[in-house]
Structure 1
Amino acid sequence: MFTYKNLILFLLVSCILAANENLIEYKISCSQKISFKRSSEYYILPSGKQENYMFNEYSFLLNSSIPYSNVYKIKKNMEVSLEDITQEIFPNFQKIYPIVIDDLGYRYIVQDKLFVSFLKGNEQKVVQQLKKYNVSPHSEYKSFEKINVYIFKVQEKNIEDIYLTKKINSIRQSVQEIIWTYPVLSLELNGIHSLPNNKNDSGWHLDKIKAPNSWNNGFTGKNVNISIFSDGIDLVDNTALKNNIYINQSESFLDAGHDDDNNGFIDDVIGWDFVRNENIPFPKKFSHRFFDKNNPTLNDISGTCIAGIIAASPFENRPTGIAYNSKIFSIKVIESGRFTSEVELAKAINYVANFEDIHIQLHGWGLGVELPVTKKVIEKASQKQIIISPVGDSGSSSQVCFPATMAQVIAVAAVDPQGHVRYSNYNKWKNQVDIAAPGEGIATTDVHGPYGYGVYQTPQFIDTNYTNNYRGTNAATAIVTACIALMLEKDPSLSAEDIKTILKCTAKKTLNHSSSKLGPGILNIEAALQKIKK
């Protein structure tokens, strides 16, 4: 007999099955899986230029160069099969790239490449066995050989089979020498920050963390070099940043077009753009066509704001960087309207780790999953440099962004002038926040001209090369990074663990303190410097 309880049970089971059908999992180990949700969106690479698009019928969204030339995004109508779309609209398509989504809403393009880690000494055997699955070594096959990861190419026109994990599961079951494998993903990286709040709290963060007292004691970040992984830094047009650019002394200004330091990057004098693969790591130049004044988070402005909080030179009545004598190295891994391949992100981290005189890596991005290859290169880089990252701005109470989830990374939350957490991510089951810092209404440099985060305004003047509205966990991360620079100036021998310990034991607790949200408390750089006995 079908009862009311049977109906409830039937509906519950149906929901669970539906949820499982919507889940894609790539098994990395017995305890680790990478999980995504399915999406109805795909990217299609046509064989030639397409002039006629049936946008309305198939809900097309045109988006060129993401991340390849002539890639078009489509949102599949549930009543129309993917095969119907490709045959009717793109009959000569080259590739279909599925899109997946993580728990925080970040999107990923599943590429036609695989990361593969296998037992050492079995390279030839694995290569031969993978050929049975139309999988062969990629041109960048050994890019991550030092961490026992190799890149393979999938020789198929439609890679939706990877998307459904059938091919990966078959490979894992039949090739016993493989430890793990998952698709190379193109990542929807964003400079983590929130919308301006139009409050003029200019300079409050400096007093909150006791920065002026540190300057009076002679600490300004001298001889400390910081790499900023972001959407680029306006190093040329913004006068306040010109004097604090890190210069790669191994690369000659006078020998253009040559890789003088033999690191594989030609003329990388002031950094590198890993999105466009060029030596100009600046933000995308804005026009009315690209800029959305109602949503600044869509635009490439975060890196310039971060750089100013750390290292802006003192100018009369303008915001000053906390470590204004430190040097900044621009590593561009984000650009609005583009995805970034995990291959390029991992290469960027390795690239910076090879600089002996770079002391800090600030990662101004975050994701909702821990990606094994990126995690491995960060672990390796943390043996040489301090790694710091924001916890994220989505307000999640159950998940901190990767890479802030890593033990080797200093995870930073943001507070407002009253010491409240309003939008920082945290994990109510774990204490994953290492330190909190001001992250609202922060005065700093902005991209040159009228298309930045928001103008810097005082009763006396307006300056469009600054803003007093920068907001988010990236702002807080920049503040903590600058303070670490002051600590390293006082004692260059400090390890990442030393710094984390000092920050935690000198942090200031708030009323109704929540360890899951604020970690040990709010940054106090004066107390941290006093703790260093040198």
Structure 2
Amino acid sequence: MFLAMGVLYWLKDSPPPFQKPLSEPVEQKRIPAQKSPLKSTFIKKIASGPKKIQIVKNSKGERYIADEIIVGFIVGTSLKDVENIAKQFQLTLLDYHSQTGVAQFKLNTSLYTVSEIINLIQKDHHPKIRYSEPNYVMTLNITELPNDYDEALWYLKNKGGELSPFKTETKKNADIAFGKIVEAWALRSEGKVIVAIPDTGIDIYHPDFTELNASDLSQQKLTIEKTHIWKNTAEIPDDNIDNDHNGYVDDTLGWDFFNIDNDASADLNFLEWIDENVSENERDQYKEQLKTDEEALIKEASHGTHIGGVIGALSNNQRGIPGIVLNDIEIMPLKIGSISIIEETDETTNQTTKKLGYSLANSIVVAEAIEYAKIMGAQVVNLSWGSTGASQTIKDSIKNAPNMLFVAAAGNEGKNNDTTPYYPASFQFNHLISVAATDPKDTLASFSNYSPKLVHVGAPGRYILSLKASLRDIQDADSFQKNEYIYMSGTSMAAGVTSGVAALVYLELLEKNTPNDKKTDPGEIKFALTQSARRLTSLENKTTAGGIIDLYSALYLINNNELPTYVPEQFPDDTVAISASDQKEDKTFNLGACGFIDTPTSSHSSGPSSHQLIGFFIPFILFLWIFFGIRLFKKHV
């Protein structure tokens, strides 16, 4: 007994080696729309392949399956009673949900039509039947590709042929759904998902993110009619008060963690920035630099906007592109980089360069953004940046946010992350997925990092068309009509594509969970993405899944309960192993195109503390004390 007590005392402060970490309570700012516990059976069948489905469209324009009906029974009706009804009306029972009382029947169309059998059932006035109706086809406004689809969006639906303006050949079905993006969208569940994008800021008022009231805009008022940008509804705009007590004042549309203000939009007014932040004697040299570097700076400033567009651009608005998530998305802008004068010294050559650049962020800024995303209720966080330095600060911030899925770019050095780790993509967590980039030919992109152990899946990342940030001025209403787009390549883009797919998988898993527990473990999302990945020869031994993400397969497996049981993986070590010579704490991350170099951070040991060691010897001390005490007592007696 004493031995057991001592062992328990020794272990009480030790982390359980096989226990899944408990999720911290997160204040939810958004509650996903709840649906009926039943999902249309038609959607599953129509998307399952060659099985033929007959549909009837009546004079009212209603569309339903020609040989099925739905009957609603009083809750608690036994299966035997339901089967008796089937016999009475010569029906075949397909499915019965006893918790809701809803049954699905197949009828013999040579005997009755749908309307005839419904009339017969209604006339029977069975005491346990509440209603009977056709099995309506749910039209989700996706009978074809959205009206803002462009042939250049090969990553959504690759039709093969040449991709202009790059004059490169593409491979048919080399996309995120193997040619079945429309079917995949038909399978998706409704709801609302928040995707946080800590990046270079987002062009919040890009017309493909936000539709403004035109008349108000002419009066220099920004009245949002429709948007896919997240809004903190607990905060009152521009009152200079932290209404929701989260530590950030007027953070209605995200936060700029780099400049510490509430403007999370991309910085593009380079000339104004130079005039305000550079000494007078240096301004001319940086303005001269702009003449050659401005386009590159705009591209870097557009990095976050581009990724946000891939994930959640407005759809069916007859402009630009549709985002992968279509309609159920809120993009949370978290700016962690901005315009800077970058002075960089190469320790090897001892040479120093100094220039106007964009988007440097340090570990603290990144960690603050991740913490913000956590407390404000994001479900997915896109990490399209990184470093070869292993920041423990960032690792801890990810570890302490187990309710969010982190989607990390694998890096653009064309290296094996097993031998040259790239972070945060190389951190090992059940709620972090690392993504390599593929090209329009279904092969690993030449620039992409890879790893059979640390990179999990591939995703389209070359020649990705999406939104470009523009400079907007409230004094110039026309500036809000700029609707620009740009091609970009990189594992940054692959991570963005995966974040969009992950958001839809999250909604699907949420729908499948029990009504009493609507939380979805982010590890389940990662598990669904890796289990459903489409195998590619080029990704064998390059990723753990050996394939590319497949939205259709992921949603199909979830819909049909064909996913294996998710078991969280146990990782052996929670420290960052580095050499003593590389112990620097504050890390910087280049956000522009995921080609990042940095130094690692310090490690820490996890051995037993002194009081744990003392606790280990307590039972032996007690045992000896009792043993010799008894002998002494017997001797004197």
CA distance in 2, matches of 1:419, 1:464: 33
Contact preservation (8 Å) 2:194, 2:330? yes
Unpaired runs of at least 5, structure 1: 1-119, 121-145, 147-199, 451-462
Partner of 1:252: 236
CA distance in 1, matches of 2:538, 2:422: 24
1:468 Cα deviation from its structure 2 partner: 5.0
* Amino acid in the other structure paired with 2:361: T
Contact preservation (8 Å) 2:320, 2:483? no
State how 1:374-393 maps to structure 2 within 5 Å. Answer: 374-381=394-401, 383-393=402-412
CA distance in 2, matches of 1:464, 1:440: 25
Which of 201, 222, 232 aligns to 1:232? It is 201
Structure 2 SS opposite 1:346: helix
Instruction: Give TM-score scaled by structure 1 length.
Output: 0.56
Number of residues of Structure 1 aligned to a counterpart in Structure 2: 320
Partner of 1:422: 445
User: Could you give the per-residue CA deviations for residues 346-391 of structure 1, whole angstroms, max 9, x where no partner exists?
Assistant: 2221122112x3211112210111111211111001x121111101
* Amino acid in the other structure paired with 1:285: L
State how 1:152-191 maps to structure 2 within 5 Å. Answer: none
Contact preservation (8 Å) 1:309, 1:482? yes
CA distance in 2, matches of 1:373, 1:509: 35
Structure 2 SS opposite 1:526: helix
Partner of 2:281: none
- Over 3 Å counting, the alpha-carbon distance change for 1:239 and 1:508 in structure 2 is closer
CA distance in 1, matches of 2:542, 2:298: 26
Unpaired runs of at least 5, structure 2: 1-12, 14-23, 25-149, 158-174, 212-226, 272-286, 341-358, 473-480, 511-518, 562-637
CA distance in 2, matches of 1:406, 1:365: 14
CA RMSD between the two structures: 2.7
Larger RCO of the pair (alpha carbons < 8 Å, separation 6+)? 2
State how 1:72-87 maps to structure 2 within 5 Å. Answer: none
Structure 1 SS opposite 2:548: coil
CA distance in 1, matches of 2:436, 2:557: 22
- Over 3 Å counting, the alpha-carbon distance change for 1:405 and 1:257 in structure 2 is same
1:339 Cα deviation from its structure 2 partner: 3.7
- Over 3 Å counting, the alpha-carbon distance change for 1:519 and 1:464 in structure 2 is farther
* Amino acid in the other structure paired with 2:524: D
1:465 Cα deviation from its structure 2 partner: 2.8
State how 1:117-128 maps to structure 2 within 5 Å. Answer: none
1:516 Cα deviation from its structure 2 partner: 2.1
- Over 3 Å counting, the alpha-carbon distance change for 1:298 and 1:479 in structure 2 is closer
Structure 1 SS opposite 2:537: coil
* Amino acid in the other structure paired with 2:397: V
CA distance in 2, matches of 1:331, 1:280: 9
- Over 3 Å counting, the alpha-carbon distance change for 1:512 and 1:284 in structure 2 is closer
* Amino acid in the other structure paired with 1:359: Q
Partner of 1:205: 155
CA distance in 2, matches of 1:469, 1:298: 10
CA distance in 2, matches of 1:518, 1:441: 24
CA distance in 2, matches of 1:214, 1:406: 31
Contact preservation (8 Å) 1:400, 1:426? no
Contact preservation (8 Å) 2:403, 2:521? no
CA distance in 2, matches of 1:435, 1:241: 32
- Over 3 Å counting, the alpha-carbon distance change for 1:514 and 1:296 in structure 2 is farther
- Over 3 Å counting, the alpha-carbon distance change for 1:515 and 1:464 in structure 2 is farther
State how 1:127-526 maps to structure 2 within 5 Å. Answer: 202-207=152-157, 208-210=175-177, 211-219=181-189, 222-241=191-210, 243-253=227-237, 256-287=239-270, 289=287, 290=290, 292=293, 295=296, 299-314=300-315, 315-316=317-318, 318-325=320-327, 326-337=329-340, 339-355=360-376, 357-381=377-401, 383-397=402-416, 398-408=419-429, 409-426=432-449, 430-448=452-470, 465-467=483-485, 469-492=487-510, 493-517=519-543, 519-526=545-552
Structure 2 SS opposite 1:235: coil
Instruction: Give TM-score scaled by structure 2 length.
Output: 0.47
1:286 Cα deviation from its structure 2 partner: 4.0
Which one has the largest radius of gyration? 2
- Over 3 Å counting, the alpha-carbon distance change for 1:504 and 1:246 in structure 2 is same
Contact preservation (8 Å) 1:413, 1:518? no
CA distance in 1, matches of 2:438, 2:294: 25
Contact preservation (8 Å) 2:209, 2:229? no
- Over 3 Å counting, the alpha-carbon distance change for 1:433 and 1:274 in structure 2 is same
CA distance in 2, matches of 1:468, 1:307: 13
User: Could you give the per-residue CA deviations for residues 282-310 of structure 1, whole angstroms, max 9, x where no partner exists?
Assistant: 11114574472564587311100011111
User: Could you give the per-residue CA deviations for residues 22-49 of structure 1, whole angstroms, max 9, x where no partner exists?
Assistant: xxxxxxxxxxxxxxxxxxxxxxxxxxxx
- Over 3 Å counting, the alpha-carbon distance change for 1:476 and 1:216 in structure 2 is same
Contact preservation (8 Å) 1:421, 1:517? no
Structure 1 SS opposite 2:466: strand
CA distance in 2, matches of 1:228, 1:333: 9
- Over 3 Å counting, the alpha-carbon distance change for 1:468 and 1:264 in structure 2 is closer
% of aligned pairs identical? 23
- Over 3 Å counting, the alpha-carbon distance change for 1:306 and 1:513 in structure 2 is closer
* Amino acid in the other structure paired with 1:334: G
* Amino acid in the other structure paired with 1:372: Q
1:246 Cα deviation from its structure 2 partner: 0.9
Contact preservation (8 Å) 2:194, 2:378? yes
